[in-house]
Amino acid sequence: MMKLILYSMVIFSGLLFGQNIEPGKKIVQQINQIKDFKIKIVPNSYFTDKSEVTDNGIELKGFYKNRRLRKIEHFLGLSAWKIVTEYFFSDDGKLVFVHSQKYQILDENGYLKKPKLLSELKNYYENNTLIKTVGQIINDENKDYLNESKNLINDLKNYDH
C-alpha cells in the first residue's frame, strides 16, 4: 500500500510541476523558419528621447507576419556587456518564449574581438504565465519579461519613422 501511495504522489507531482513546453518550442521553431518578415526597427535615438541612455545604445526590432507581431529582438549595450533578448509570440499575441543572453564585450585590455557569453536564460510561457525557466542572467534582478514585452510592444507602436 505504501508503494502505491508513493507512486501516486510521484505521478501527481510530475503532472503538477512538469509543465509541457513543447507547444512553445514548436511555435518558436515555426517563427524562426519564416523568411519574409516585415521588420520595424526602433533606433537608439527613440530611447534617448525617452531618457533611456546606455553607453553602447539600445535597439529594438519587431518582426511582423500578416500584420501580427511574432518576434521582438531587443539589444541593450552597456559599458562592458551587451544583453540580447528575443521575445516570441503565438498567433494570438501571447508571449510563449523569451531567450536572453548576456555577453562580455570589454575586459581590462579593451573591447573583445569576439564577445564572451556570460549567461543565458530561457523562459517558457503558457497563456502569458511563466511555466519554466532554464539558466539565468548574471546580476539581473528576476526581470519581469512579460511586463517588459508589453513595454517593448508599446515602443514599437509609438515609434513613427
| Site of grid cell 546606455 | 54
**Count of other CB atoms within 10 angstroms of residue 9:** 10
Quick check: 68 and 93 in contact, CB under 8 A? yes
69-73, 87-91, 115-119: least confident range = 115-119
pLDDT at 125 over 50: yes
- Residue-level pLDDT at 8: 39
Decide: pTM greater than 0.85. Answer: no
Digit-coded pLDDT (tens) for 26-65 = 999 999 999 999 999 999 989 988 888 888 889 999 999 9
Q: Which residues contact 159 (CB under 8 A, 6 or more apart)?
A: 40, 42, 46
Give the chain's end-to-end CA distance (angstroms, integer): 69
34-38, 135-139, 149-153: least confident range = 135-139
Digit-coded pLDDT (tens) for 70-89 = 999 999 998 888 999 999 99
